[in-house]
Every structure is written in C-alpha cells, then in structure tokens.
Amino acid sequence: MAETTAAPIDRILQHIKYLSVDIGPRGSTTEGERKGAEYCQAEMQRAGLAPVTERFRSAKSIFLPHLIGSGLFLAAFILYPTGGRVTAFIAFLVSAISLASELLELGFIDNPFRWIIPKGTSQNVVGIIPAEAEHRQDLVLIGHIDTQRTPLVFSTPRWVEVYKNFTTVAFVLFSLQVVLYLGGWATGWGWIWPVSGVSAAGAALLALLCIQADLTPFTAGANDNASSVGMVLTLAEQLSQHPLKHTRVFSVCTGCEEVQHYGAIDFFKRHRAEMVRPRGLVFELLGCAGPAYLEKEGIIVPFHSDPELVRLVKEAGAQGSAKPPYPVSISGGNSEMADCVRFKVPAISIFGLKPDGEAPYWHQAGDTFDKMNPAVLRDTYQLVWQAIQCLDQEAG
C-alpha cells in the first residue's frame, strides 16, 4: 500500500487561494470559471498528467428555469377565467407542462425550459492516472470549479431552512393548481379560480426570489468549492507519484455544477462506457467542517451513498484519520454523487457539513479564503487518502 509522508495541506491551500483569491468568483460559463479550468489544466500537467479540457454547452443560471415556471403558473392563473372552459383547459395545460418541466429540471433531465433558456460554453478538465499493475477497477474523483450567486435565501442558516420549507410548499401548491384546473375544466365550478389564488401567490413569491437571486454577485467560493478542486488536484499530484496498484483514477474538475450539474453529466456521457467497475468519490465544502460523509441527498428523488463505500470510509477513518468521520444528510439539494448514481457508478460524497447539517458559508459572500481551516483539510485528506488505499487494496 502506497503512503505519503504527510498530508500536503500547503498544496491544497495554494490551490484554494489561487482559485478563490487570484481568480475569484467563478460563475457558471463565465470568464472566471474558464480561468479556473485553465489553472486546473496547468496544475495537472505540472503533476505529470496529460489532462484534456472537454467543452460543452450549459445553462447560465439555476434560477431562470424556476422563474419561467413560476411565470407560467401566474399566466395560467390570469388566463383561467377569461374564456370559460376553453381557457380553463389551456390554463390546465400550461400548468401541467410547467409542473412537468419543473420536475424534470430537478431530476437533471432535458425539458422544455432547457430548450429556451440562454446557454454558454463551459468545460471539464479530466486527467487520468493509469494503474501501476493490472487494471481492475476505476475511481472517479470529482470537484466542481464554478461558484454560485449569493441570494437572500442562502444568507443565513435560518433563511436556508425557510427556503427549503417554502420550496416544498410551492411544489404542493403548483401540483394543486394542476388538479384544480383540470377539475375546473371538467366541471365549470366557479370556486376553482379564487382558490387557486393561493398557488398564484406562491408563484409570485418564487418569481421574486429567483429575480433577486440572479441579481446578486457570485461568491469567491473558497469552501464551495475551491476546497474540493484543491483536494482533487492534490490527490492527482500524489497519485501520479504513488500510482495505485490495480485502480485507474479519473481526476475530474467539473464546470457548471451550480446550474444542475451539466459538467458531471457531460463527463459521464463521454466516459462511462469505458469504465471498469467504477467507484465515485465526490467532494463538497471541505475547508471548514468535517470530515463527514454523505449518507443520503435529494430534492424529490433520494440518492443514497453506496453501502460498501460507506463501510470503506468508516474503516479508513478508524485506521488512519486524525479525526473519525461522521455521517450527514441533505434535503433540498444534490451533490454530483447523484450524477454518479444515475450513471450506475457506486459513489459517496465527502461533504463538509457540520454535525447539525449546517453548510458553512454556502452560497454566501463570506465564503472566502480566510475561513479555511488547515486542521479540517488535513483530517479530510488523510481520510480520503486512506480510503483510496483501502479501495485499491481490496481490488487486489
């Protein structure tokens, strides 16, 4: 089993600083994100890899599809009473299409909203480290380059909780509007339209929140997610010097995670067919809390970490980490672990939430380099390094 003499925290911090300070905000499809990818490309080359930059088209905003959806629900509300059952049926169709598109968008699936929203060019940076001996399995290391905006609903933990609850209520209200308008078309009952004003109010509030969000600046993204890119780049450097015996490693720095994971999806579409018994290690928010591993995530459809990787991470923590890892879960969101699972790659997220579930500086202006905790990064690196070694050893 290969070993390092010490956790190279200085290298991780160097990467985080360059991305979050020297480059700064790296919004999806922006010049900052492109510069971040160029840095990843150069660092992988310096480490002895032959990285490839893979470009793709992506949405520019995660909020715009939901603004369109809320606008369509409002339009259906306005249209419903204007022409009897004819406009009632049209309002039902508009609401149903909007609800279906929202569900598909939350599931990372192509939908009418994606056909009409503005797109930009983004990129993944992919470096491959061959196995030293017989190639028996693949390991995918993923951290995203881009950063999110800093909307009001992410400004404090309390606001985040309110937003999670509101989105659940909004989904129920929008579903109710579809059912009501179908019933109104079928029966002509007069009480349908005034009752649906509740869902229209929810749509108006969602629209205002989306507009406010898209007018805010991008975060510098030290914790989310330069810390994870730093981890991927440092692991790539170490593994190029100490290659695994039976495991080929894909080191992947993705673009456009913050707009529904366009980068990870593009990567797996390109490379999944060539993988041999793949496993995924996804990194999120590693600089302030942890080490922690994700057990479950999801917005509507839940995604679970692979039980064998959970076992392996626990064992790795018992063997080598300075601080044992603890389990966490998220609701109302997804990491790129969801993309691994959807492409049938067993995976786990190393996700730096606090034990109570709070995500430090998540989509906040305060997500800056001075918040990085070297002790947390050291413990997380040691956990990940030990887990990778255990994974390779079990393949032998």
Tokens 């039976």, located at residue:
246
Angle at 252 between CA 5 and CA 246, to 5 degrees: 55
Domain identity same for 232 and 355: yes
Number of separate helices (H) and strands (E) present in the chain? 13, 9
| Cross-strand pairs, 144 | 254
- Residues 124-137, mean pLDDT to the nearest whole number: 98
If asked whether residues 33 and 139 sit together in one domain, one would say: yes
Question: Following CA atoms 286, 236, 123, 36 in sequence, which dihedral angle do they give, to the nearest 10 degrees?
Answer: 60
pLDDT for residue 33:
98
Residue 81, pLDDT score: 97
Do 275 and 158 share a structural domain? no
Query: Is 363 part of any domain?
Result: yes
- Tell me which residue range forms the domain holding 138: 9-59+119-150+218-395
- For the chain, what is the mean pLDDT? 96
pTM to 2 decimal places: 0.95
Inter-residue contact 279 to 138 (CB < 8 Å): yes
pLDDT of residue 5: 47
Average pLDDT over residues 146-158: 96
Residue pair 65/72 in contact (Cβ under 8 Å)? The answer is: no
Q: Which two tokens stand for residue 139?
A: 């390991």
Final residue of a domain: which of 197, 214, 231?
214
Would the pLDDT of 393 be above 90? Answer: yes
User: Is 297 strand, coil or helix?
Assistant: strand
77 confidence band (pLDDT: 50, 70, 90): very high
Contacts of 156 (CB under 8 A, 6+ apart): none
Report the C-alpha gap between 129 and 267 in whole angstroms.
16
Q: Above 80 in pLDDT, residue 70?
A: yes
Residue 1: is its pLDDT beyond 50?
no
pLDDT, one tens digit per residue, over 8-21 is 999 999 999 999 99
Query: What's the pLDDT score for residue 6?
Result: 64
The more confident residue out of 7 and 255 is 255
Q: Judge if 16 and 141 occupy the same domain.
A: yes
Listed residues 214, 230, 256: the one ending a domain? 214
Phi/psi region, residue 321 (left: phi>0; alpha: psi -120 to 50; beta: rest), is beta
How many domains does the chain fold into? 2
CATH number of the domain where residue 131 is located: 3.40.630.10
Environment class of 149 (CB within 10 Å of its CB; exposed 0-12, middle 13-18, buried 19+)? buried
In a domain, 176, yes or no: yes
For the segment 212-222, the average pLDDT, to the nearest whole number, is 98
- Whether omega before 111 lies within 30 degrees of 0, making that bond cis, reads no
Q: Please give the structure tokens belonging to residue 176.
A: 């109710």
Same domain, residue pair 390 and 317: yes
316 — pLDDT class (breaks 50, 70, 90): very high
| Distance between CA atoms of residues 230 and 377, nearest Å | 10
The arithmetic mean of pLDDT across residues 263-280, rounded, is 98
